[in-house]
Chain A
């Protein structure tokens, strides 16, 4: 076995194990911390694919910002086992059905996108370099890129508006 394969196997095992523990563990803080480890091992997968930029962005956005806010909220809310809400059976059934549907869609996406990934390898461009990535993003995918930023802005303004509204009503 080559070194890369061993690293891949270890990373995959860690990713799946911690993702499972995220759902399985009772304590919300432990579950958030398992999710952080899972995000780090996914960043490791990006590094194996030679995309440093994606790996670092993944760490900054998910581990550095989103998960810290999650932890922050959980710590402030002080969730315990005692005040855990008991969910009715129909909700659990709904969760299982929606999970199966999402996995179906995801598997379909991965099967269909396989040949396109193959094409990208054959072009021989250096996707590790952020210069190449930036040129592709801002030349070929300019419009979707700008739409994504507008979407984020709208989400941000919306959340600020919601929090302001609550304050005035009180």
Chain B
């Protein structure tokens, strides 16, 4: 293999990893600031200017806390839980196209770690194994509250994965490809999928909230009933890993929403910018546009968290199985009819 490709991909992977970590770090600060703003408070403002160093201080605090572990016969699994949660949170970013082609040093550079044929299925696959970290950690804690939290998280994720997959099928029928890069390229101009598949977008958005265990679906860590849910027994940086994985998940699912439904790196007037300002500058603006979309979704996550109260458990299951799944099947049927309207008209003799 060409050694320059290996260098290029390694650099991209490192940068994506660093950016995911940075975004997850500052999401914790943003969450507290947004909460403060919505509740008419000031929020953290002591560490650094306006609280800008707060995430670093939090990290330092978590590292220096005492490492406490419960009396569990499954010590290895107790440690594997947070590590698995973090790994699956970071794995998804491999297939996301962060920008179009750059033209640097006489060669085209694609801002994507890997462009596989089945990228969309890969996303679903990684999301479906994401529950292992929570389940294993909750079970290995040897605590009833943790176990109930883990079982709740697992059943919730399994239920909402069905609706999520079905909502993506309608999108898939329209795009005709599973490659995220091609899906991004099809949305050039203002042909964003959200205008063609609004129902699919809403179902996917609700399922993304459930998959990341965010309010209103955070039954897994329901304080009033379960102390802390699956991470009750965790302390110091192990708990930090669980919380960090949640924020990394939030960043990644915001990215997926932006790429699948909101045009990815496309912005209005991109072809004009390519002609007048050159490929590279237009792409830099594209990356900025993608990150603005991502930050918008992260803000939406926080906005919902501090506005809507938690669901009851039977309401959660009712919403998943009786409302979202029939709705997404209906969406598939409607999409099929619209796509085949010409053939259907001929068949009916219009």
Of residues 67 to 94 in A, which have CB atoms within 8 Å of B's CB atoms?
A: 68-69, 71-72, 75-76
A33 touches B128 (CB 8 A): no
Q: B324 on the interface (CB 8 Å rule)?
A: no
In the bound complex, what is the Cα–Cα distance between A5 and B131 (angstroms)? 32
Q: Most chain-A CB neighbours within 10 Å: which of B117, B136, B139, B151?
A: B117
Within 8 A of A (CB), among B101-147: 116-118, 121-122, 124-125, 127-129, 131-132, 135-136, 139, 147
Across chains A and B, the number of contacting residue pairs, with CB separation under 8 Å, is 61
Q: Separation in Å of the A120 CB from the closest CB of chain B?
A: 19
The answer to whether the Cβ of A154 comes within 8 Å of any Cβ in the partner chain is: no
**Chain A count of residues within 8 A CB distance of the other chain:** 21
B117 touches A129 (CB 8 A): yes
Enumerate chain A residues within 8 angstroms of B128, measured Cβ to Cβ.
59-60, 63-65, 68
Contact A53-B121, Cβ < 8 Å, known A59-B129, A63-B128: yes
Partner of A52, one of B118, B127, B132, B147: B118
CA distance A64 to B121 in the complex (A): 12
Q: Residues 110-148 of chain A: 1 if any B CB is under 8 Å from the residue's CB, otherwise 0?
A: 000000000000000000111000000000000000000
The answer on a CB contact under 8 Å between B135 and A36 is no
Q: Within the complex, what minimum Cβ distance (angstroms) separates A164 from chain B? A: 15
Which residues of the other chain, B, contact A29 by a CB distance below 8 angstroms? 74, 139
Judged by a CB distance under 8 angstroms, whether A19 is at the interface is no
Instruction: Count residues on chain B whose CB falls below 8 Å from chain A CBs.
Output: 26
Check A107 for interface membership: any CB of B closer than 8 A.
Answer: no
If over half of A's interface residues share one DSSP class (helix, strand or loop), that class is named, otherwise mixed; here it is helix
A28 to B139 Cα, complex, angstroms: 12
Whether a CB of chain B sits under 8 angstroms from the CB of A57 is yes
> Would you call A75 and B158 a contact (CB within 8 A)?
no
Are B155's CB and A72's CB within 8 A? yes
Q: Quick check: is B325 within 8 A (CB to CB) of the other chain?
A: no
- Please, which residues of chain A bring their CB within 8 A of the CB of B77? 33
Contact partners of A56 in chain B: CB under 8 A: 118, 121-122, 125
What are the residues of chain A within 8 A of B158 when measuring CB–CB? 65, 68-69, 72
Residue of A nearest to B73 (CB): A27
Q: Which residues of B contact A71 (CB under 8 A)?
A: 135, 139, 154
In the bound complex, what is the Cα–Cα distance between A56 and B119 (angstroms)? 9
Which residues of A have CB within 8 Å of B117? Answer: 52-53, 128-130
Q: How far is the CA of A57 from the CA of B120 in the complex (A)?
A: 11
- Tell me whether B121 and A68 are in contact (CB under 8 A): no
Q: Return B52 CB to nearest CB of chain A, in Å.
A: 39
- Decide: B125 and A72 in contact? CB cutoff 8 A: no
Give the contacting residue for A76; candidates B121, B129, B151; CB below 8 A. B151
B248 contacts partner chain A, Cβ-Cβ < 8 Å: no
Tell me which residues across on chain A come within 8 A of B124, comparing CB atoms. 60, 64
B178 within 8 A of A: yes
Known A-B contacts A75-B147, A75-B150; the reply to A68 vs B132 at CB < 8 A is yes
A129 CB contacts on chain B under 8 angstroms: 117
Cβ–Cβ contact B118 & A68, under 8 A:
no
- Return the chain A residue nearest B128 by Cβ: A64
Interfacial chain A residues near B155, Cβ < 8 Å: 72
* Across-interface contacts of A75 in B (CB, < 8 A): 135, 139, 147, 150-151
How many Å from the CB of A157 to the closest CB on chain B? Answer: 15
Q: Which of A52, A57, A63, A64 has the most CB of B within 10 A?
A: A64
Sample (13) of A-B pairs whose CB atoms are under 8 Å apart: A29-B139, A33-B136, A52-B117, A53-B121, A56-B121, A60-B128, A63-B129, A68-B132, A68-B154, A71-B154, A75-B151, A128-B117, A130-B178
Interface residues of A (CB under 8 A from B): 29, 33, 36, 52-53, 56-57, 59-60, 63-65, 68-69, 71-72, 75-76, 128-130
Q: A53-B118, A72-B154, A75-B150 are in contact. List 14 more A-B contacts (CB 8 A).
A: A56-B118, A57-B121, A59-B128, A64-B127, A68-B135, A68-B157, A71-B139, A72-B155, A75-B139, A75-B147, A75-B151, A76-B151, A130-B117, A130-B178
